[in-house]
A and B are shown apart, each in its own frame.
Chain A
Amino acid sequence: MATQIQRRISTHESVSVTLLLIVVALSYLVLFLGIPLFAVFVQALSKGWELYWKALQEPDAWSAIKLTLLTAAIAVPANLVFGVAAAWAIAKFEFKGKSLLITLIDLPFAVSPVVSGLVYVLLFGAQGWFGPWLQAHDIKLIFAVPGIVLATIFVTFPFIARELIPLMQAQGKEEEEAAVSLGASGWQTFWRVTLPNIKWGLLYGVILCNARAMGEFGAVSVVSGHIRGMTNTMPLHVEILYNEYNFVAAFAVASLLALLALVTLVVKSLVEWQAKRSGEPLHHGA
């Protein structure tokens, strides 16, 4: 670490500037990230562990936790398949409308989550385009679990694709072409050549996608209907508990979400470290 700093000092700025920048960055982090995160845990445990556990075992909280896990368990694999397919197509092939596809993948990043939710209400709500047909066939999408899953997939779908596209583009298609010319089938090329090349970037995308899938509030709030014990995810349940003056329980569930974020960060660092060690790039140009 010290040698790194010294190397940078010799090429860039004086020691005082470096120190100043470090102090500014660190205090910013502590002020805007550290303290609030700490406060969540303090508030959650303000009345002791016993109440904390009780709050998490409460049936509605438990059902919110289960629903959140279920949603992520469907949304992440779905976006994994889509992300790999899209990145593969975009990086390795030339076709018409490619730039349009790239733009479309970015769409969920660009639109507000509220819009993402409302889109589904407009399509599948009782007054929506497909509403009457769905009702006639007794299929419930909106204000039920499928709607929550759909909205989550929509919001999280750029994460994996976006992570892979630059990586795969940078890697080029020479290795695949070599594999094919040696007689490998499409699947063999994918499993033996492409996948090993992208595995760290892919894992990184999955982690980010999962974090967002579990934490999404806006889009899910619009399509949820807020039925306790049925269509409340953890973020929605936190809001409900808070509005019921049930601060310990609200922060207990919030702390669980925060914990999840911390675990995600640790895993993410591990992935980065592993990728560096194995010498495979995580990002384009990294």
Chain B
Amino acid sequence: MAWQRKILRVNLTAGTCTPEPLNMDWALKYIGQRGLASKYLAAEVDPKVDALSPDNKLIMATGPLTGTMAATGGRYSVITKSPLTGAIACSNSGGFIGAEMKAAGWDMIIFEGKSPKPVYLYLENDEAQLLPADGLWGKSVWETDEILHATHQDPLLRIACVGRSAETGCLYAGVVNDLHRAAGRSGVGTVMASKHLKAVAIRGTLGVGNVRDKRAFMDATTAGKKTLKDNAVTGVGLPTMGTQVLMNVINEVGAMPTRNMREVQFEGASKISAEAMLEPRESDGKPNLVTNGACFGCTIACGRISTIDPQHYTIANKNKYKGASGGLEYEAAWALGCDTGVDDLDALTYANFLCNEDGFDPISFGSTVAAAMELFDIGAITTEHTGGVELRFGSAEALTWAAEVVATGTGFGKDLGLGSKRLCAKYGHPDLSMTVKGQEFPAYDPRGIQGMGLTYATSNRGACHLRSYTVSSEIMGVPVKTDPLTTEGKPELVKAFQDATAAVDSTGLCVFTTFAWTLADIAPQVDAACEGGWTPETMLEVGERIWNLERQFNLDAGLTAADDTLPKRLLKDAAKTGPAKGQVNRLHEMLPQYYAIRGWTEDGRPTDETLSRLGV
């Protein structure tokens, strides 16, 4: 079996590292990663716990296919209770550290308690040590990575850590691994920092060789790779253009959230698109995009590696930003650009570098800056609050200043680090926060893509596109084309995407494979690797089980059906331009039907029959 069947339990209060066997009964019901770690969290943590107290736990979890030869089999997730939302959080990342953890012999690491002093976990195969991190506290992600590699004299060490934003309490700080990959959403890095855990440094040389049926696994993974290669999206589109190819698409269909979602189309979109990233700039004749990049085992390689114009104001005297580093993905480009009204590609790339360097979520950051800009626009925030900065929509200087103060948690950066919901409440205009359950929206306006309204409203981690990406069907026609402007059939579509995605997120594979693969491609790979008799049907059942487990955690935490909603702006203020002109999101047409097909009561609670059927 491809599980290592071993967990490392790290008690930060006591300073102990203790191996224990993986609960295989649970593994057969929840697969791994998101599902299995959520089961552990629900079993071990009181859902009502203060997310930043020592009683919360933080789990780093791989899936059974993490570290194997399956294409994209390098994913890991960070699971905890979120300080941003008060809901269960699961944040997924690629890079290389997930595979390294698995190769060191571990399925999962559970961190509990709080260390009296800053520490980091050093893990080399069976050897686990908590080491002092006094010299790392106050350092950025990039500095921490460099120091740890030098300290251990091992260039192959894989490192995940938090930056200064997490240390200073930014509620949307992530855990960054391999310099610019991140478990970015929901403030999982804030939880890690609250435990005085600065970093996890791993070296694994044991490998992952114990698959159930080696021949079948070779056949299934080879077939899967061919499908990815032959598919126009995963074989050509994503490696060439990255996710940023969506910038012009979503703007054209009139679903581009712009200036804190006041509008649905951004006049500057073409200047910050994938196409723009390929254009040679005047100063040095080079384009923004240097090359694409791949995570462990990935045959897609959608990652962007970029440079900033060396003459741009942001880096004129800052040599460390003049090299190539993690570039703009669509979500970051949207949040930093369209939502703030900034169309300066280099300013966006600089802000994105800072998000990586100090570990904060560019989606939540950009959306929070957008909210602050609207508060400035109506006079609720003034230059007295910002220390003189004109926080205006469209100001690249304001955006990059905001990134600098959030990175270090200084001055007005403390307020911006609260996130949009708390910021808007603090300055007296809670309705201006574009959030669900306290988490900021991603890059699709639900007035122009109706299914995404239901996706956001019901997402178990707050507004998120990666819980059910109905954009795939409603805009791109994968697996079938549906009309983005109707609500008909969307409850069924959202549920299908939610369940399938929860299953994929539990395997160790990347959800981007699903632009080419269905569960019929994934199940044979899982089945060849693992005991359990995995089919598309059993995987969907696991996905539904995970969804209900997460939902139950949230209900027990105190969330209710009243939290399954959208900001008034999206329900009352019609889109002003584009195909959705005159439309609002019609959540009320979808939500009751969604509850019914989920087997939930009218107030959104799973019935006893549903929980019993799924074995939750």
Q: Decide whether A and B assemble into one complex.
A: no
Please report B residues at the A interface, Cβ cutoff 8 Å.
none
Please report A residues at the B interface, Cβ cutoff 8 Å.
none
